[in-house]
Amino acid sequence: MSQVLFLSKPSQNEVNPILSLASEMITRGEQVTFFSSDEFKLPIEHIGADFKAYATSLNVFNKSEEGNQKSGLITALLEPMKFIDGIVEQTKGLKFDYAVFSPAYPYANIITQMLAIPKTQYGVSI
């Protein structure tokens, strides 16, 4: 049984396809830890994955906590270590066999290097 880290931008177009993949992997006995935003917590937990919320929101429609006009994604891009450190902190003590994410996922290479895990990109055809 593998321990798999799923990283997803919080949008229906990103979460739904990767959620189906995660569900199938869980059915086959894999252990899945899935990072996304709180709005996707219930669907992620419903498939049996361990849900983790980003410390910094990636939602392009959310304003930052400071109330300025920058969206969550812009804030994550301007403060990458705050975003990355949030993931690393929440995964302390966990050992992943590999990570799954979309090609557009920010900082996937840095995160997988810091966690010393192989990575697998998935593509979505629309």
Tell me the C-alpha distance between 37 and 35, whole Å: 7
Delimit the domains of the chain by residue range: 3-121
- β 31-36/98-101 pair status: unpaired
pLDDT at 123: 64
pLDDT grade for 71, boundaries at 50, 70 and 90: low
User: Over the stretch 75-97, which tens digit does the pLDDT of each residue have?
Assistant: 667 778 888 898 999 999 999 99
* Token pair for 93: 């003590």
pLDDT tens-digit series, residues 25-69: 999 999 999 999 899 999 999 999 999 998 766 655 555 455 555
Determine whether 7 is exposed, middle or buried from the number of CB atoms within 10 Å of its CB (0-12, 13-18, 19+).
Answer: buried
pLDDT band at 10 (very low <50, low <70, confident <90, very high): confident
The predicted structure's pLDDT at residue 64: 47
Q: Does 126 score more than 70 pLDDT? A: no
The CATH H-level (homologous superfamily) assignment of domain 3-121 is Glycogen Phosphorylase B; (3.40.50.2000)
Alpha helices (H) along 7-62: 12-27, 41-46
So what's the pLDDT on residue 77?
Answer: 72
Residue 25 tokens, joined: 């992997």
Looking at the predicted structure, is the pLDDT value of residue 110 above 80? yes
CB 10 within 8 A of CB 103: no
